[in-house]
Amino acid sequence: MSVEEKLSEMGIELPTPPKPVASYVPIVQTGNLVYLSGQLPIKDGRVMAVGSVPNPCSIENAKEGAKLTAINIIAHLKAHLGSLDRVKQVIRLNGFVQSENGFHKQPEVLNGASEFIAEVFGDKGKHTRIAIGVFELPLNAAMQIDAIVEVE
């Protein structure tokens, strides 16, 4: 089964990838490594997970936001690669979660992205990760996630 078929089976429709919100590009490839710019939990132009976790953005809402951010990452990969079967290995996710004072469950939030990527890509989706709790993020998004992906 191709990755696109897997996504379809999971009921996931890839959106038109969101445009960068400033003076940069969404993807650059060097050799067989693809670098993606930081993605936000945006759907139809609207940020779907807003503010600090767990208040006002609940952990559940934030996990959904992380999954949506991963969908945006995959949408950019699809636009760049043509076929998602060209993904050889997801190398890295860098995850930054807007965090309330005293919140330390950034890994749980980011699992919303990591588990989705692992489900979509199988062994090729097993990645390294950093999970950081930050003070503020662009557009008041609850998280920003970027990726490095090996392609063929």
What are the beta bridge partners of residue 146?
Answer: 94
48 binds a copy of itself (CB under 8 A): no
Encoding tokens for residue 73? Answer: 């990452």
Q: What is the C-alpha to C-alpha distance for residues 44 and 126, in angstroms, rounded to an integer?
A: 28
Nearest approach in angstroms of CB 136 to a copy of itself is 3
80 binds a copy of itself (CB under 8 A): no
Q: What is the C-alpha to C-alpha distance for residues 21 and 46, in angstroms, rounded to an integer?
A: 12
Nearest approach in angstroms of CB 1 to a copy of itself is 22
Nearest approach in angstroms of CB 64 to a copy of itself is 15
Site string for a copy of itself, 87-116 (x = CB under 8 A): --x-xxxx-x--xxxxxxxxxx-xx--xx-
Q: What is the C-alpha to C-alpha distance for residues 47 and 64, in angstroms, rounded to an integer?
A: 12
139 binds a copy of itself (CB under 8 A): yes
